[in-house]
Chains A and B, each alone.
Chain A
């Protein structure tokens, strides 16, 4: 690890200005659970480490009846998992937070950090100068790619590692972003960028921009939701694939809903045309089987990850039938 200056800004403005001034040398640091790993492995070598935790007022969970939920960027995943309002109103969010890593990491890791964590591609994490690190090739494409994406890839084939992103996408969340002395709001679905557009960044934050809040709209009373994460080990493991669903139904028929998928694409994946097919689907074996056969229709698996397609379909099927 390289030596660095540790900066304790007192305000968002101060933090943002430093980040903006030195876009390549400064790095924002929240819980540090990902940032520290990246620094130790020399994947990033910041000169200034800007501790967001010294900025007050970014750690809160607030719910307003009829308006929805607001979560401060620095709120730790453990707090999200333990919050009684979230458990009652947005159990899917609690479920996803609990599915992350280990209790130790959830005590430190923050929600915004979780959305901005870097990919886990093993070439990226190891000493390979791949495309995403400024090199000139993707090692996974011809190499060991069982954990990589089956859709939306190229020229880089990562999957986005965040569990929270998948459920927040299904919940239609928005982010408030501070930068350049003002704030902007961005829909989560527009936040992530595909490698086809930019293969060195996973989201569209500009230099100096900081997520301050995550907003989740009020869910209709009758909404049902569920999250399922498939991992190879019972705990402390990233998703191989995951599915988040938020559905309204009448009787056994879906009225409206959203499905989002993790572990299949370089961004948390949502297929609008698939979601458009949800209304009217009866939640029983045949129609659900028909629906899930539409999932990842356009997938182009790599040499070692074709298994993800049936896996996602099966998981979704079970999830829907159990809603």
Chain B
């Protein structure tokens, strides 16, 4: 079923923040931000900027009527810097002017003097200095120290993964309008309207009921607008309140790249022990998370790294330690996968290294250790409805991996400078917010007297197709056509106290709430129909016709609604849903944090040009367990997009910071993301057959994040190809595996270790 939204996107008719037509008295804000990674502000000279014609005001932290604080999890982040700056890109002042051009020109006239302080960019250095965001987190199961003695093979090493830019097409932005009685309406490109409402309330000092937040649609979010939209909305709101005029703030691409946080870089140490048959007995891992200058969502992300540190394997003895470390980079934030990819990369590296040492293929160890039904995760939950092995076997069979291997071996024998590599990548990803209280949602459904339907939930449409899924749910329940159903923008005055559209869970949570609300209305309508038809039996609706005992009654949907209205029935319903049965004890680190898990197995094939260090991803295929997909077309799009985004993270997307903190790769000519030429020749993601999921909406499973992790296979496929060319090489596990790292691996003089 096609996603109708796409038509409007393709025709350029969908409206994003920067497309909103503003009243003629609207003003425009631009941000003056720090150019250094760490420093004390000695002086801030606004005089020249204020003199510019068109400049209405320049706001600093002193102008904030409420609290100068936007830290959601931990109160450690100012909206506008006070005495010190902690990263390059940190907002210091806001220029409000008659046009965006004028505001930006004035920004350039602001002069600031810093007393430069030492800059720390590396999480291990921050660790040595004791700069922790939160106390260390440790997940453990069994006893690793006792287990090492039973291991035949023990490998140790280090895994590094880099930052990643979200690169949503629509940059961060917000418009704030002063409304009656000292209230504000804020439209924001946010995944989390309630979080914006809270942040604006905190900064302006207004109670939440005086702040209406709306998010009609986003040009992409990927996690980058889960927490970080708050500050830009708060800036627009602060300006609107101060000047009593509508104010728009939309970042340029360069500003967005410089100011906002990215996926957390991680540096990790692993130690893996196996018995003679390749069964994993023990795994110890230490994660150093580079959190940037403030907490943002880092603690929650750190937890998800721990939750997924054993990926889809059963490991009886685990000790996983994680540190969230404060550095002088922009606050790192949520990004598709939410810390899980970094955790999974570490164990996959460890398995690869163990396979190298044992002289077996990594896939042998991967398969041997896959989770089975009832196996325990290191956090107290056990695998239910486990489809790890099922998807693995389906991948072997569907993609004829045996054939692929033969073909690759032949190719590698016949070619000297081109080598192929191949890797499997199983995944396991838990669905639910790891913070249990966030697993709630509301839905408000109006049936209008003409039979058309309006739906409000907390879900924000950002290209992932959630609106389409919601319409499908309502359409299936009421048995009315899709064009009778409209999804309203997420708005805090219609559905309040919402959770962000994140954690892949929006369709699940909001869909369930919607299901409840629709069923309630349906019940009312059918009772009315029974009354009208004077029957004790329950009528049903099929295709907008009311049927009784499988016979048409002549009553249509519209008639029924009209009748119910005339009978003065309430045609509005609100419902609230919470995920049942989830809990987590943060002291013991035990519980049942996830509603269910998503499984799957990816296979990746690459061809490496050993002369140039370039490669093509020939294919990325996967058997993905999506339950019974609610909308297979949308889900495939999500899976393919996620996989390509993952490929970028592991291969070409490299973020470079100057030693004092400023971002160097702050344009798309320096920060390279996969384009259509780079995408896999064959991208074949199929859904595991005969799967279901009673815990999900209509038996479906969440789709947004899990397929991202299939791309991790590309790193190991490339590594295999390198070894075909240069068997003695022992590389570091450092991603992204850029061309220059590859070339160094292929040609560096030191034979055995290559540090890229």
Interface residues of A (CB under 8 A from B): 42, 120, 122-123, 126-128, 139, 142-144, 146, 230, 232-238, 240, 304-308, 310-311, 314-315, 317-318
Contact = CB atoms under 8 A, between A and B. Distances in A.
B666 A126 contact: yes
Given A122-B656, A310-B743, A311-B743, 19 more contacts: A120-B669, A123-B664, A126-B658, A126-B662, A128-B662, A142-B659, A144-B664, A232-B738, A232-B739, A234-B675, A235-B675, A235-B677, A237-B669, A307-B613, A307-B747, A310-B747, A314-B611, A315-B612, A318-B612
A154 B122 CA distance: 28
Contacts of A42: 108
A53 to B, nearest CB: 25
Interface string B721-756: 000000000000000001111011011100000000
Contacts of B573: none
Interface in B10-60: 35
Given A127-B35, A127-B662, A310-B747, A232 B612 contact: no
16 contacts: A122-B664, A123-B658, A126-B666, A143-B658, A146-B656, A232-B672, A232-B738, A233-B675, A234-B677, A235-B675, A238-B669, A307-B744, A311-B612, A311-B613, A314-B611, A315-B612
A296 to B, nearest CB: 13
Contacts of A305: 740
B565 interface: no
Given A235-B675, A307-B613, A307-B747, A144 B656 contact: yes
B665 interface: yes
Looking at chain B's contact residues, is the secondary structure mostly helix, strand, loop, or mixed?
loop
B73 interface: no
B652 A230 contact: no
A234 B676 CA distance: 9
Given A144-B658, A307-B747, A233 B652 contact: yes
Interface of B: 35, 108, 611-614, 652, 656-659, 662, 664-666, 669-670, 672, 675, 677-678, 738-741, 743-744, 746-748
A126 B747 contact: no
A191 B556 CA distance: 83
A235 B741 CA distance: 21
Given A42-B108, A123-B658, A126-B662, A307 B669 contact: no
Contacts of A139: 658
Contact of B670 (A122, A304, A308, A314): A122
Contacts of B739: 230, 232, 240, 307
A238 B748 CA distance: 24
Given A122-B670, A234-B677, A128 B613 contact: no
Contacts of A236: 669
A317 B108 CA distance: 49
Contact of B611 (A126, A127, A315): A315
Contacts of B675: 233-235
Given A127-B662, A235-B675, A310 B738 contact: no
A307 B740 contact: yes
In this complex, the member of A120, A238, A240, A314 whose beta carbon has the largest number of chain B beta carbons within 10 angstroms is A314
Contacts of A310: 743, 746-747
Given A232-B672, A233-B672, A233-B678, A143 B659 contact: yes
Looking at chain A's contact residues, the main secondary structure is loop
A314 B678 CA distance: 22
Contacts of A126: 658, 662, 664, 666
A260 to B, nearest CB: 18
A163 to B, nearest CB: 15
Contacts of A122: 656, 664-665, 670
B114 to A, nearest CB: 14
Contacts of B741: 307
Contacts of B747: 307, 310
A85 to B, nearest CB: 30
A126 B671 CA distance: 14
Contacts of B669: 120, 236-238
Nearest to A236: B669
B628 to A, nearest CB: 38
Nearest to B743: A307
A232 B656 contact: no
Contacts of A232: 652, 672, 738-739
A306 B744 contact: yes
B672 A237 contact: yes
B611 to A, nearest CB: 4
Contact of A314 (B612, B659, B677): B612
B514 to A, nearest CB: 42
Nearest to B657: A144
B670 A234 contact: no
Nearest to A122: B664
A137 B188 CA distance: 42
B612 A128 contact: no
A305 B744 CA distance: 9
A233 B665 CA distance: 15
B242 to A, nearest CB: 28
Contacts of A318: 611-612
A232 B657 CA distance: 19
Contacts of A308: 740
A42 B746 CA distance: 41
Contacts of A235: 675, 677
Nearest to B745: A307
Nearest to B651: A232
A263 to B, nearest CB: 12
Contacts of B740: 146, 240, 304-305, 307-308
B721 to A, nearest CB: 16
Nearest to A233: B672
Nearest to A128: B658
A151 B230 CA distance: 48
A36 B612 CA distance: 34
Contacts of B738: 232
A139 to B, nearest CB: 6
- Kindly name the residue among A122, A146, A315, A317 whose own CB sees the greatest number of chain B CB atoms within 10 A: A122
Contacts of A233: 652, 672, 675, 677-678
Q: Which of A127, A304, A310 has the most CB of B within 10 A?
A: A310
9 closest A-B pairs by beta carbon, nearest first, are A234-B677, A314-B611, A310-B747, A307-B743, A307-B740, A122-B664, A144-B656, A233-B672, A307-B744
Interface centre among A123, A143, A307, A308 (most CB of B within 10 A): A307
A314 B746 CA distance: 11
B54 to A, nearest CB: 14
